[in-house]
C-alpha cells in the first residue's frame, strides 16, 4: 500500500531568490526612479546573460512569445514556415501574428523534435523559413536543418524555451540558426517571473529587433518601424539577476532528481524516458516520460488521472497538437495521416514533477506508485487469463 502524499506534489515550482536579496534589488530600483526603458538592471542582466549563454547578440523581452513574434517580424518573412505540431501554442501563434502559414512536419520518435528527414519534402516556392523547437531540452538536428536551409536559402529560427544553458559539443545552443528565443517564464529553469530573450546572429537584424520591441522608435521623435511595447522592465531584470546566481546549483539538484527517477523507472515495462541528456547537453528543464499503453497496461491519460488520486500532479505536455487547433484543421499538413508520430506521441507523453526542492524520497515514492499501478494491472491480467482458460 502506497499512501497519497499529504501535501500536493506539483509538476514544477519556480526557482525563487532570497526575499531579502530581492528587497535590496527593489530598493535599488526605487532609489534610481528608473523602472523601464533600458535601465541599470536591464543592462546588467543583458550583460550577464550574454556571458552565461555565450552569445554576441541578446535582446531582453517582457515575455518569450513577444520575443519570438518580433524576431520573426525582424526577418521580414513571407508565405510559409515549416514547423512542428508538437509544441506550446505560442510557437505557432507567433507565426499567425506575422501573417505566416505554418506547414506542419512530423516529429522524430526519439527526441520528439521536428524530423529533419521530413522537412525537404514540404518545401515549396512559398517557403521562407524553418521554425524548430528544442522539445523538453532535446536539441533539434541543427546540422541537417541548416544544410537544408542553406540549400533552399531559408531562414532558421529556434524556439529555445526549454534549452536555457544547453550546449551541443561545446557550442552554445543560441548560436545555431538565425535566431533563438528563450523563455524566462516562472516555470523555466531561469526566470524573471515573466520574460524572454532573443539571440540573433546578424547584428543588423539584432538592431531591428531592439527597435521593434520599443514601439518602432529610433529616437524620441522618429518612428521607423511598426513595433510593439515588448521591453523587459527593471523589476523583472533585477529579479533575474538574483535568480541567475542560483541556476548552477539548481542544475546540480535536478541532476540528482533525474538520476533517482532513472534508477527507479529503469525496469518498468512500457515507460521510456524522453529527457536522457546530462551535463552541458541538458537544460534540466523537464523530466518527461512516455507511456506505451500496450506494454504498461494503462494509457497515459489513465496514469495522469490516477496519480492525481495520490496528490501527484503531472502534465500532458504538449496536448493537444497545434495542428488540431480549429483554425489549422483545414491545412493539408495538419491532417492526422500526415503526422502519424506526432499523433502517437501526444497521447503518450507525461511531464513529471521536477524541480530542485523536490525531495528524493518523494521521487522514489512517485516511482513506487507507477510500479504499483503496473504490478496490479499485471496481476489482474493474469487472473483474467486464468479465467478465460477456465
Q: What is the CATH number of the domain that holds 363?
A: 3.90.1150.10
- Do 127 and 260 share a structural domain? no
Q: Mean pLDDT in the chain?
A: 95
Task: Please indicate, yes or no, whether the overall pTM of this predicted structure exceeds 0.85.
Answer: yes
In a domain, 1, yes or no: no
Structure confidence at residue 375 as a pLDDT band (50, 70, 90) = confident
- Mean pLDDT, residues 113-118: 98
Residue 386: what pLDDT?
A: 38
Residue 377: what pLDDT?
A: 74
End of a domain among 222, 244, 266?
244
Facing residues of 101 across strands?
A: 80
Structure confidence at residue 385 as a pLDDT band (50, 70, 90) = very low
pLDDT, tens digit (0-9, with 9 covering 90-100), for 133-169: 999 999 999 999 999 999 999 999 999 999 999 999 9
- Cell numbers 532570497 label which residue? 18
End of a domain among 224, 244, 264?
244
- Do 195 and 87 share a structural domain? yes
- Mean pLDDT, residues 89-101: 98
pLDDT, tens digit (0-9, with 9 covering 90-100), for 270-302: 999 999 999 999 999 999 999 999 999 999 999
Rounded to whole angstroms, the Cα distance separating 378 from 296 reads: 9
- Do 256 and 193 share a structural domain? no
Residue 335: what pLDDT?
A: 98
Domain count, the chain: 2
Residue numbers of the domain that contains 181: 19-244
Rounded-to-10 torsion of CA 331, 332, 338, 342: -10
- Do 111 and 226 share a structural domain? yes
- Do 256 and 238 share a structural domain? no
Count of CB atoms situated within 10 Å of the CB of 80: 21
End of a domain among 244, 274, 299?
244
Backbone angles phi, psi at 179, to 5 degrees: -165, 155
- Do 302 and 234 share a structural domain? no
What is the DSSP secondary structure assignment for residue 353, as one 8-state letter? P
- CATH code at position 130: 3.40.640.10
Q: Is the pLDDT of residue 384 over 70?
A: no
Rounded to whole angstroms, the Cα distance separating 256 from 261 reads: 9
pLDDT, tens digit (0-9, with 9 covering 90-100), for 7-47: 999 999 999 999 999 999 999 999 999 999 999 999 999 99
Nearest-5° Cα angle at 297, 296 to 301: 90
Rounded to whole angstroms, the Cα distance separating 360 from 296 reads: 24
Count of CB atoms situated within 10 Å of the CB of 203: 10
Structure confidence at residue 381 as a pLDDT band (50, 70, 90) = low
Q: Is the pLDDT of residue 78 over 80?
A: yes
- pLDDT > 90 in the chain, percent: 95
Cα–Cα separations (whole angstroms), residue 355 to 13, 88, 272, 315: 6, 20, 20, 14
- Do 257 and 158 share a structural domain? no
- Cell numbers 526605487 label which residue? 30
Structure confidence at residue 200 as a pLDDT band (50, 70, 90) = very high
User: β-strand 101-104 against 80-83: which pairing, if any?
Assistant: parallel
Q: Is the pLDDT of residue 382 over 80?
A: no
In a domain, 206, yes or no: yes
Q: Which of 291, 286, 276 is nearest to 355 (CA)?
A: 286
Rounded-to-10 torsion of CA 305, 287, 274, 300: 0
Q: Is the pLDDT of residue 387 over 50?
A: no
Nearest-5° Cα angle at 55, 49 to 59: 60
- Do 254 and 216 share a structural domain? no
Q: Is 366 exposed, middle or buried (0-12, 13-18, 19+ CB in 10 A)?
A: buried
In a domain, 366, yes or no: yes
- Do 323 and 304 share a structural domain? yes
| Range 200-209, long-range pairs (CB < 8 A, 24+ positions) | 200/57, 200/58, 200/59, 200/71, 200/74, 201/57, 201/175, 201/177, 202/178, 203/56, 203/57, 205/74, 205/75, 205/178, 205/179, 206/57, 206/59, 208/74, 209/59, 209/70, 209/71, 209/74
Amino acid at each position: 500500500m502506497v499512501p497519497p502524499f499529504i501535501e500536493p506534489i506539483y509538476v514544477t515550482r519556480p526557482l525563487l531568490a532570497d526575499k531579502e536579496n530581492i528587497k535590496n534589488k527593489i530598493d535599488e530600483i526605487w532609489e534610481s526612479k528608473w523602472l523601464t526603458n533600458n535601465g541599470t538592471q536591464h543592462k546588467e542582466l543583458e550583460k550577464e546573460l550574454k556571458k552565461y549563454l555565450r552569445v554576441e547578440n541578446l535582446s531582453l523581452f517582457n515575455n518569450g512569445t513577444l520575443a519570438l513574434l518580433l524576431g520573426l517580424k525582424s526577418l521580414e518573412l513571407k508565405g510559409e514556415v515549416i514547423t512542428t505540431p508538437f509544441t506550446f501554442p505560442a510557437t505557432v501563434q507567433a507565426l499567425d501574428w506575422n501573417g505566416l502559414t505554418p506547414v506542419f512536419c512530423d516529429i522524430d520518435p526519439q527526441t520528439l523534435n521536428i524530423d529533419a528527414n521530413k522537412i525537404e519534402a514540404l518545401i515549396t516556392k512559398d517557403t521562407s523559413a524553418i521554425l524548430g523547437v528544442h522539445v523538453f531540452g532535446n536539441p533539434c538536428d541543427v546540422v541537417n536543418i541548416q544544410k537544408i536551409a542553406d540549400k533552399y536559402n531559408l531562414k532558421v529560427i529556434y524556439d529555445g524555451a526549454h534549452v536555457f544553458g544547453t550546449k551541443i559539443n561545446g557550442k552554445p545552443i543560441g548560436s545555431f540558426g538565425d535566431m533563438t528565443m528563450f523563455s524566462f517564464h516562472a516555470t523555466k529553469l531561469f526566470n524573471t517571473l515573466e520574460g524572454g530573450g532573443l539571440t540573433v546572429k546578424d547584428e543588423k537584424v539584432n538592431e531591428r529587433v531592439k527597435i521593434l520591441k520599443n514601439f518602432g522608435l529610433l529616437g524620441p521623435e522618429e518612428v521607423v518601424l511598426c513595433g510593439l511595447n515588448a521591453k523587459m522592465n527593471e523589476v523583472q531584470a533585477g529579479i533575474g539577476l538574483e535568480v541567475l546566481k542560483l541556476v548552477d546549483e539548481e542544475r546540480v539538484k535536478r541532476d540528482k532528481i533525474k538520476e533517482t527517477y532513472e534508477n527507479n523507472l529503469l525496469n518498468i515495462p512500457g515507460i521510456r524516458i524522453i529527457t536522457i541528456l546530462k551535463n552541458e547537453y541538458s537544460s534540466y528543464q523537464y523530466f518527461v516520460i512516455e507511456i506505451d499503453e500496450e506494454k504498461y497496461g494503462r494509457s497515459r491519460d489513465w496514469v495522469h488521472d490516477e496519480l492525481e488520486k495520490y496528490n501527484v500532479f503531472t502534465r500532458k505536455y504538449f496536448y493537444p497538437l497545434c495542428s488540431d487547433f480549429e483554425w489549422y484543421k483545414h491545412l493539408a499538413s495538419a491532417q492526422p495521416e500526415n503526422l502519424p508520430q506526432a499523433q502517437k506521441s501526444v497521447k503518450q507523453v507525461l511531464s513529471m514533477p521536477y524541480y530542485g526542492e523536490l525531495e528524493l524520497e518523494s521521487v522514489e515514492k512517485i516511482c513506487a506508485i507507477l510500479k504499483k499501478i503496473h504490478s496490479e494491472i499485471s496481476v489482474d491480467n493474469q487472473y483474467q487469463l486464468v479465467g478465460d482458460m477456465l
